[in-house]
Amino acid sequence: MFIPDQTDSNAAIVIGAGLGGLAAAMRLGAKGYAVTVLDRLDKPGGRGSSVMQDGHRFDLGPTIITVPQVYESLWAACGRDFHKDVDLRPMDPFYEVRWQDGSTFTARQNTDAMLAEVARLSPRDVKGYKRFLKDSEACYKVGFEGMVAKPMHKLWDTIKVLPTFAALRADRSILGLAKARVRDPRLRMALSFHPLFIGGDPRKVTAMYALVAYLEKEFGVHYAMGGVQAIADAMVGVIRSQGGQVRHGVQVDEILIDGDTAKGVRLTDGEQIAAPLVVSNADAGHTYQHLLRNKARKRWTDKKLKSRRWSMGLFVWYFGTKGTAAMWPDVGHHTITNAPRYEGLLRDIFIKGKLANDMSLYIHRPSRTDPSVAPAGDDTFYVLSPVPHLGFDDPVDWARECDIYKAKVRAELEKTIPGFADRISTEMTLTPADFRDRYLSPNGSGFSIEPRILQSAWFRPHNVSEEARGLFLVGAGTHPGAGVPGVISSAEVLGKLVPDAPVVPELKVAAE
Ligand SMILES: Cc1cc2nc3c(=O)[nH]c(=O)nc-3n(C[C@H](O)[C@H](O)[C@H](O)COP(=O)(O)OP(=O)(O)OC[C@H]3O[C@@H](n4cnc5c(N)ncnc54)[C@H](O)[C@@H]3O)c2cc1C
């Protein structure tokens, strides 16, 4: 276990103000550390931050909030009430899935409504769907309750769950499980696509991810009024109330190491900040490849990181539309439209690294729920298309491809929101190249290292660094992985690994 030097300071540095970094700072603040959070962006939240443009608020990343108890317990650990700081609204329906033949599937919390949807699409699959729900509950109990917020840096902790994993057929992919339970190809997609929201290929990601169906059913799908930025801002409020600092526009260039121990950081402008406890919320790949570049590494060498399977990249087009609030009444807050191909498209994205002409899209229309996101009468949208990351041999040249691809997205989107393009008043895009440059995300990937079974738990970069004493990792690239509940839980793991702050000499004197 990490034991801070009692004669040293109680300072802690968190590199990155992503949701994982902010949650880490809150946990450390609650333990008595004097925390400084450092982020290169101009506001908190990382991928969960937003941009204001011409009266529209573009929430850049996460939109779906699940398992609210993860936030409630984080706030409670700091002696606060999450619901006093953030206005969380349950969504009903959760989202709608659409296919090219015009058929749809509306996901809801109510099990009878879900059974009716399954029966409407494919009556013979109702029984299989009920079995899938049972699978989902079992996976939740083992995978979420049993592992997500638990330290997994000891190999034994992973080995001991293997018999249960084997019993749950975790060797099978989530798509494999869906195929075993239902026959309709549309339902197979609707039961297996969720790992795409954390960067995993449903053909390869373990069936344990069936747990998402259970956690959605039990705890709902929510939206934070003001977007996820409102959660990030509230986190900063808690950190400041604990006496912590959050500094923006500062980039860490290197983690300073003395022998085998982290001693602080040096910023790109040369400023050095000392602390016996350093937590990196920068991507695990960036942390090891760049911030520890001058240290000989035992496990996370450049070669090992290169050989990991990285999550897919994202093409995201954000736009505001003028005077459209009453248009497209059938398009709700969350819509997913399917390409004609499911598995073939996944293969293009994850295996071949090929930018396909067809695409499945996630359409976010927060203006259906949140008036603060657009001027009155207008709409704010984002449309997201999963695309290959930049780590393939012949990566997509986004400087050349962005407008061409956007035109293809536009043609596809016209099927769902006809006439939208003529009403666009403001817009911006993010491509994998922007993810690389804005978030320092290796390979421009959307969600760090892909959550395959042999890249999860002990196999993922550990929360307590394998490379330097006093260095810890939180966020998407470490255990348990990407997604907002995942990165918040990584900070809960941190809280279990780090003891309360030492009583520093100045404080001892003050107390006497
Ligand atoms: C488009 C999109 C949609 C998503 N939708 C959902 C969703 O609906 N629900 C859900 O649960 N999840 C969703 N996710 C996933 C989720 O947003 C992420 O997994 C999560 O926010 C990642 O948080 P993080 O703590 O790992 O850090 P990040 O958000 O990656 O933040 C890391 C921070 O570190 C900073 N940084 C990096 N290097 C340095 C350095 N050297 N010096 C200083 N600062 C540095 C970066 O600027 C950044 O602010 C989505 C993600 C995206 C991109």
3-state secondary structure of 204: coil
| 21 CA to centre of ligand 1 in angstroms | 9
CATH number at residue 377: 3.30.519
Tell me whether residue 93 is in a domain: no
* Number of other CB atoms surrounding residue 320 within 10 Å: 25
Q: Are 125 and 212 within one domain?
A: yes
Best residue among 47, 311, 473 to mutate for probing ligand 1, ranked by most atoms within 8 Å of CB: 47
Q: Are 373 and 433 within one domain?
A: yes
Q: Which of 465, 57, 406 has the alpha carbon at shortest distance from 280?
A: 465
Q: Are 317 and 432 within one domain?
A: yes
Q: Are 393 and 371 within one domain?
A: yes
With a 6 Å cutoff on the Cβ, whether 194 touches ligand 1 is: no
Q: Which two tokens stand for residue 373?
A: 């996101």
pLDDT in tens, 362-401: 999 999 999 999 999 999 999 999 999 999 999 999 999 9
For residue 267, pLDDT over 60 is answered with yes
Q: Are 380 and 336 within one domain?
A: yes
pLDDT of residue 6: 47
pLDDT in tens, 221-246: 999 999 999 999 999 999 999 999 99
Tell me whether residue 435 is in a domain: yes
Tell me whether residue 289 is in a domain: yes
Give how far Cα 346 sits from Cα of 172, 229, 354, 362, 390, Å.
Answer: 17, 30, 10, 15, 16
Tell me whether residue 195 is in a domain: yes
3-state secondary structure 58-85: EECCCCCECCCHHHHHHHHHCCCCHHHH
Helices (H) then strands (E): counts for the chain: 18, 19
pLDDT of residue 166: 87
Side chain identity at 403, as an amino acid letter?
A: D
- In the chain, the number of structural domains is 3
pLDDT in tens, 286-303: 999 999 999 999 999 999
With a 6 Å cutoff on the Cβ, whether 38 touches ligand 1 is: yes
CATH number at residue 466: 3.50.50.60
Read off the pLDDT of each residue in 352-356 and give the average, rounded to a whole number.
97
Question: Does residue 404 contact residue 431 with C-beta atoms inside 8 Å?
Answer: no
With a 6 Å cutoff on the Cβ, whether 434 touches ligand 1 is: no
Any residues with CB less than 8 A from the CB of 262 and at least 6 apart, and which? 255, 256, 276, 277, 278, 465, 468, 469, 470, 471
pLDDT of residue 511: 41
Q: Are 402 and 507 within one domain?
A: no
Q: Which of 35-44, 158-167, 459-468 comes out lowest in average pLDDT? A: 158-167
The rounded distance, in Å, linking the Cα atoms of 307 and 512 is 55
Any residues with CB less than 8 A from the CB of 270 and at least 6 apart, and which? none
pLDDT of residue 505: 62
With a 6 Å cutoff on the Cβ, whether 318 touches ligand 1 is: no
Tell me whether residue 149 is in a domain: yes
Q: Are 134 and 165 within one domain?
A: yes
For residue 359, pLDDT over 50 is answered with yes
Side chain identity at 430, as an amino acid letter?
A: L
Q: Are 261 and 282 within one domain?
A: yes
Domain boundary among 217, 242, 268: 217
Which residue's CA is the closest to the ligand 1 atom numbered 16?
A: 483
Tell me whether residue 86 is in a domain: no
With a 6 Å cutoff on the Cβ, whether 476 touches ligand 1 is: yes
| 445 CA to centre of ligand 1 in angstroms | 11
Best residue among 50, 281, 463 to mutate for probing ligand 1, ranked by most atoms within 8 Å of CB: 281
Q: Are 372 and 387 within one domain?
A: yes
With a 6 Å cutoff on the Cβ, whether 292 touches ligand 1 is: no
With a 6 Å cutoff on the Cβ, whether 15 touches ligand 1 is: yes
Identify the domain containing residue 126 by its residue range.
110-217
Which residue's CA is the closest to the ligand 1 atom numbered 37?
A: 282
Side chain identity at 466, as an amino acid letter?
A: E
DSSP annotation string for 438-484: HH--GGG-SSSB---GGGSGGGSPPSB-SS-BTEEE-STTSSS-SSH
pLDDT in tens, 159-190: 998 889 888 898 999 999 999 999 999 999 99
Tell me whether residue 2 is in a domain: no
| 180 CA to centre of ligand 1 in angstroms | 34
Domain boundary among 217, 248, 266: 217
With a 6 Å cutoff on the Cβ, whether 442 touches ligand 1 is: no
Which residue's CA is the closest to the ligand 1 atom numbered 18?
A: 483
Q: Which of 85, 381, 334, 372 has the alpha carbon at shortest distance from 226?
A: 372
With a 6 Å cutoff on the Cβ, whether 483 touches ligand 1 is: yes
Q: Which two tokens stand for residue 293?
A: 């570049």
Q: Which two tokens stand for residue 490?
A: 């990584």
Q: Which two tokens stand for residue 156?
A: 């034994």
Is the preceding omega at residue 93 within 30 degrees of 0, hence cis?
A: yes
With a 6 Å cutoff on the Cβ, whether 384 touches ligand 1 is: yes
Q: Are 205 and 238 within one domain?
A: no
Nearest atom in ligand 1 to 253's CA:
41
Nearest atom in ligand 1 to 490's CA:
25
Share of the chain above pLDDT 90, in %: 93
Domain boundary among 217, 247, 266: 217
Q: Which two tokens stand for residue 107?
A: 């996901």
Is the preceding omega at residue 451 within 30 degrees of 0, hence cis?
A: no
With a 6 Å cutoff on the Cβ, whether 20 touches ligand 1 is: yes
Q: Starting from the edge strand earliest in sequence, which strands make up the sheet with 272-274, in order?
A: 252-258, 261-267, 272-274
Q: Tell me 260's DSSP state.
A: T
Q: Are 329 and 431 within one domain?
A: yes
Tell me whether residue 105 is in a domain: no
Any residues with CB less than 8 A from the CB of 409 and at least 6 apart, and which? 315, 317, 359, 361, 383, 385
For residue 52, pLDDT over 90 is answered with yes
With a 6 Å cutoff on the Cβ, whether 390 touches ligand 1 is: no
Read off the pLDDT of each residue in 46-66 and give the average, rounded to a whole number.
98
pLDDT in tens, 69-113: 999 999 999 999 999 999 999 999 999 999 999 999 999 999 999
Nearest atom in ligand 1 to 316's CA:
1
| 92 CA to centre of ligand 1 in angstroms | 26
Any residues with CB less than 8 A from the CB of 113 and at least 6 apart, and which? 106
Averaged confidence pLDDT in the chain? 95
The rounded distance, in Å, linking the Cα atoms of 257 and 469 is 9
Q: Which of 284, 279, 291 has the alpha carbon at shortest distance from 493?
A: 279
Q: Which of 316-320, 352-356, 396-400, 453-457 comes out lowest in average pLDDT? A: 453-457
Q: Are 289 and 336 within one domain?
A: no
